[in-house]
Amino acid sequence: MVEDKTSDLINEAQELFENGKYNQAESILNQLILRNHKEPLIFHMLGTIYYDRGRFNKAVRAFKRALEIDPGFTDASVGLSIILNDLGRYEEGKQIFEDAHARLEKKKQNSDPYINEKFALKHDELGELYFQNKRFNEALEQFYKAKQLSNRKAEISLKIVECYRKLGIDQKAIRELERIIKEFPTFESARLKLAKIFQERGQIHLARKLWEEVLDINPENSSAKKLLQTVKNDTQVELS
């Protein structure tokens, strides 16, 4: 299936990268870019690979592309700053680093949540428009930008999950949902969505555990009640 193949490519590239097998990782990452995948991590990994090989100009372009997609991607900012310093572009490297530091500081402060939310809403609306027109990579890029600015991070993260699912990258969707659950443990929708993926994959024991967790949070959640009861009924039929 196309979905499984794409998911396998993403997982394989990241595993190869983490194990230092850069030649093989680069080949897969370039395939993903040709398929128009716009995830900052892809460009960050490529930037690191190019830097390791001394291909500094290509590394600069890759890190800059990662930052265009997600300006808050601190690892890409640090990587870009280091390369610019190596190239003797000290002032530019210093500025990149200071900008990254300023973003981190800004997160700690109450800058202007109203203005940030207005920008986030525009990115969110554009993401929805791309999504409705089945341009899922562009939608993913906009939702990342919206999440960076918005206080509605859990809600927007679910839209990122839907993009990954439409792109056939279920492993990324699963990891994003697990991250949401960790950051927002009482957010029932994330557990329900993750349970749905497990149910579709036939991993009923994992789905069941999540439905039970939802009911621990909210005993009146009708969706979790219904799905859990359906599974129990199916189990009883099999045993009879």
Mean pLDDT confidence for 41-69: 92
Q: What is the DSSP letter of 11?
A: H
Find all residues with CB under 8 Å of 36, minimum gap 6, and list them.
137
Q: Which residues contact 102 (CB under 8 A, 6 or more apart)?
A: none
- Give 7-27 pLDDT, tens digit per residue: 677 778 888 988 889 999 999
Q: What is the pTM of this model?
A: 0.58
Q: What is the pLDDT of residue 149?
A: 85
